[in-house]
Amino acid sequence: MTWTVRSPATKEVIGTLEETNGEQIHEMYASAAQAFASWSGLPISERIRFLRKVRLQIIEELDQIVKVISDSTGKVSVEALTTEVMTVVDSISHIEKRAAAALKTKRVKTPLTFIGKRSYIEYKPRGTVLVISPWNFPFQLSMIPIVEALAAGNAVILKPSEVTPLVGRLIEKLFTQAGFPAGLLQVAHGGKELGAALVKGKPDFIHFTGSVRTGKIIQTEAAKQLIPTLLELGGKDPMIVCADANLERAVQGALWGGFTNSGQVCMSVERVYVDQSVYQEFVDRLVEAAQHLRQGTAADSDIGSMTFPQQTAIIKEHVTEALDKGATLLAGDHPDKWEEDQMFIKPMILTNVNHGMAVMQEETFGPVLPIMAFETEEEAVALANDTRFGLNASIWTADLERGKQIVSRLITGNAVINDVIITVANPYLPYGGAKEGGIGAYHGDVGMQGFCVQTAVMVDKGRRKKEVNWFPYEGKYELFVRLIRSFWGENRNWRGFLAAYRQLLKKEPRK
């Protein structure tokens, strides 16, 4: 089936695409298995050579990539360039430098009780990895798991969002132009039915980024086949502004953290808690700053359109409910004034909100900043933790030690002090969530290692006839008691330990 793709910002047709039918899935997995057989046998240096080629291909096609992303999502060009393309090329560059060390067989210590043996961990690719990516950052959130999986030696099948399919086709083209082997990266285009069919096709690993609801469905289906998964899900990320914070910086941080990509970021600032003593000043400055943001499709616009029409309905529902319950709208348009198919939503600032409102509990995923005052640090931490999500948080204070102490009390996979969102763009840090923020993490060394089977190995030279813990057990109990007490007791007794160990060695098998 052919479907027509339109820009969410202009409604203009930007391309057409052929949907992948269910009959092709078996063939795709067969091709992936064949490609994996040769790719996994290549040395890491050779895999990295290919990844370098795709990085340089991205640089070569920079303007065209930005255009496809911007046309497909409605985000402004600067954001397409910085939050998508720049993050991806930096991540590939990081993998080029770190892959050999991260995936190298690692020798680890062996306890003295296993004297004469040595231990190591070997990282082996899993096979075929299924990457299911979202529409809000269709390039970044597809490319990074793809290149991590490929660096580790896997083959990949990508199922991009049906909302932004042209970005998926662009990714496929980039890898083809970079000369990657046929079947190593394949792109399947379609909706949730295709995604479900791909999961049932029994990949060796699933990397999913998207909603909590869909993540739970995938996890349930994967569990039936014991397929390991990595889930990057939702966020309702808090921002805590202390009395001693640099208010101008905090205001600008809230502005960008809440409204970048029209708030369609899982790590967006979705809740703001401000110390009562500076609350009104913060709110006044934020409302004033919001008036200067430019929205549209021009090169100098700050905020673009929404990407997914259905998301505007959720935003409308959250804001309308909050206003009906007594919240105050200080910036933006009342949802009653929106046009039926409106995709450009002016940034909204809400006060007089509370945790009985969906806008403070559920992921809004739009340009909405609800703000509450707090009186004590304990109250701020309790409010920040009062959520089923745990993806990201930010703390704003001049006292960095205080900021670190607050971070230590927050249940979150990521945190930033005096900034927002940026941990996801640091390729040296793992990225993952707590609670319904997700399961597992990628990025950093752990990202590449997560796409591997980690085999723990112990080696003995095989020269001794037997081990002390083997049969028979006759006469060994008291000797093991002496050994344990000598080695792990309050004061280590080396003489007692060695004496017990030597006597255990002397015990002969029954004839």
Q: Annotated active-site positions, please?
A: 232, 266
Q: How big is the CA angle at 269 (ends 264 and 272), to the nearest 5 degrees? A: 145
User: Both tokens of residue 129?
Assistant: 């990895």
293: left (phi over 0), alpha (psi -120 to 50) or beta: beta
The answer to whether 394 and 237 are in contact (CB under 8 A) is: yes
User: Both tokens of residue 334?
Assistant: 């009342």
Catalogue the E-assigned strands of 252-312: 269-275
Note the helical H segments in 400-452. 400-409, 444-450
Strand partners for 74: none
DSSP 85: I
The answer to whether 373 and 275 are in contact (CB under 8 A) is: yes
For residue 322, give the nearest of 369, 290, 289, 278 by alpha carbon.
369
**Sign of the four-CA dihedral 445, 447, 452, 453:** positive
Alpha carbon distance 252, 209 (integer Å): 28
Cα of 325 vs its chain's centroid, Å: 34
Long-range CB contacts for residues 329-333, cutoff 8 Å, separation at least 24: 330/283, 330/287, 331/287, 331/290, 331/291, 332/290, 332/367, 332/368
Phi and psi dihedrals of 263, rounded to 5? 75, 5
CA distances from 429 to 91, 94, 103, 384, 422 (A): 11, 11, 16, 23, 10
- Provide DSSP, 306-334: -S-HHHHHHHHHHHHHHHHTT-EEEES--
Which residues have a Cβ under 8 Å from the Cβ of 330 and sit 6 or more positions away?
A: 283, 287, 349, 350, 351
